[in-house]
Amino acid sequence: MSDFLFSVNAIAPIVLTVVIGYLIKRAGLLPKATAAQLNKVVFRVLLPVMLMLNIYKIELGMKIEISYILYGVSLLLALFALLLYPVCRLVKRSQRGVLLQCIFRSNYALIGIPIAIALCGDRGAIYATVMGAVMIPIFNILAVFCLAIFSDKRADYKSVLLGIVKNPLIIGVAAGGLLLLIRMLFVRLGIFFRLSDITPVYKVLSDLSAVSTPLALLCLGANFEFSAIASLKKQIILGVTLRNVLAPIIGIGLALLLGCFTDAHFSVFIALFATPLAVSTVPMAQEMDGDHELAGQILVFSTIFSALSIFLSTYILRLVGIF
């Protein structure tokens, strides 16, 4: 029973916040247009600030094992390569880029990092943020690549590259890395000044970071639309199966078989493989001539089913003694 309660306690706050966002919208207090604008604030300001601070606060003497990062990157790239041909055979051209993203592009910053924190506290936050510093650029590069190669429009590679560089999450990661390097330099030079010594600035950044996750989850709930189109039913089932079944079974199952990872590592693997499709998949698909309608439906249903995939992953890992 304690294993069950542990798993429920890890996922319930996130699910309930999303549900509250949906109910607020239904009550007319948070129209979809307003939620969309708030979502832009979250992704362009709040989440980058959260990532920046999480990287800046990494303990300088802490040993971060590279093995779990290599595992996550290698498996993600392998799954992408293995599924490229089957997806091309199963769906039409405009839908291929969207469905390929289901296997690798998790909602890492919005749902994944909070899950890692819920499971392993500060250790989960640090390990998840370090993984995010590597994975977030890879997510965006692969997303642009698989949408560009199946687009009917001629790819403007300069614009594509600029779009990757200007991605707010990548900017947040880069800013955090720069601040961490400055902090390391100050330590080496014996300078005791830190960002936290600028109290008003640090307080504002901390408050923005703290509000990012709950506001993002409320907006996610407010953007839910349960208007699945019958003609897309097979593609939606395929996308949800890739994101909520295949990715966690392979990603987490193989890590268990290897037997060389700790609880903090597994909290990151749940964040990486068991979370739903990233919210930014929809506007990117629309901008790059992909099937954004399909992307929106998979986003909704993968988010719903991720409650089950995250719960089962956590519960099984608890049963085998990981958590």
270 or 56, greater pLDDT: 270
Q: Which residues contact 126 (CB under 8 A, 6 or more apart)?
A: 54, 57, 58, 59, 62, 64, 264
Q: Domains in the chain: how many in total?
A: 1
Q: Is residue 13 part of a domain?
A: no
For helices 113-148 and 168-189, angle between their N-to-C axes, nearest 10 degrees: 120
Q: Is residue 227 part of a domain?
A: no
Q: Euclidean distance between the first and final Cα of the chain, in Å?
A: 14
Residue 14 pLDDT > 80: no
Mean pLDDT of 55-84: 83
Q: Is residue 111 part of a domain?
A: yes
175-184, 238-247, 261-270, 276-285: lowest mean pLDDT where? 276-285
Residue 258 pLDDT > 80: yes
Q: Is residue 38 part of a domain?
A: no
pLDDT at 134: 84
Residue 264 pLDDT > 60: yes
Whole-angstrom distance, CA of residue 258 vs CA of residue 53: 32
Question: What is the per-residue pLDDT across 202-230, written as a single tens digit (0 to 9) for each?
Answer: 899 989 988 887 887 788 778 776 665 66
DSSP annotation string for 1-37 = -HHHHHHHHHHHHHHHHHHHHHHHHHTTSS-HHHHHH
Question: What is the per-residue pLDDT across 103-137, written as a single tens digit (0 to 9) for each?
Answer: 888 888 778 888 888 888 888 888 888 888 788 88
Whole-angstrom distance, CA of residue 279 vs CA of residue 106: 9
Q: Which residues contact 101 (CB under 8 A, 6 or more apart)?
A: 142, 143, 146, 277, 278, 281, 295
Quote the pTM value.
Answer: 0.78
Residue 1 pLDDT > 60: no
Whole-angstrom distance, CA of residue 254 vs CA of residue 71: 10
pLDDT at 145: 78
Per the structure, the complete domain to which residue 304 belongs is given by 61-194+232-319
Q: Is residue 33 part of a domain?
A: no
Residue 153 pLDDT > 90: no
pLDDT at 163: 66
Q: What mean pLDDT value characterizes the chain?
A: 82
16-25, 27-36, 88-97, 155-164: lowest mean pLDDT where? 155-164
Residue 157 pLDDT > 90: no
Residue 61 pLDDT > 80: no
Q: Is residue 114 part of a domain?
A: yes
pLDDT at 251: 93
Q: Is residue 205 part of a domain?
A: no
Q: Is residue 221 part of a domain?
A: no
DSSP annotation string for 195-262 = GGGSHHHHHHHHHHHHHHHHHHHHHHHHT------GGGHHHHHHHHHIIIIIHHHHHHHHHHHHT---
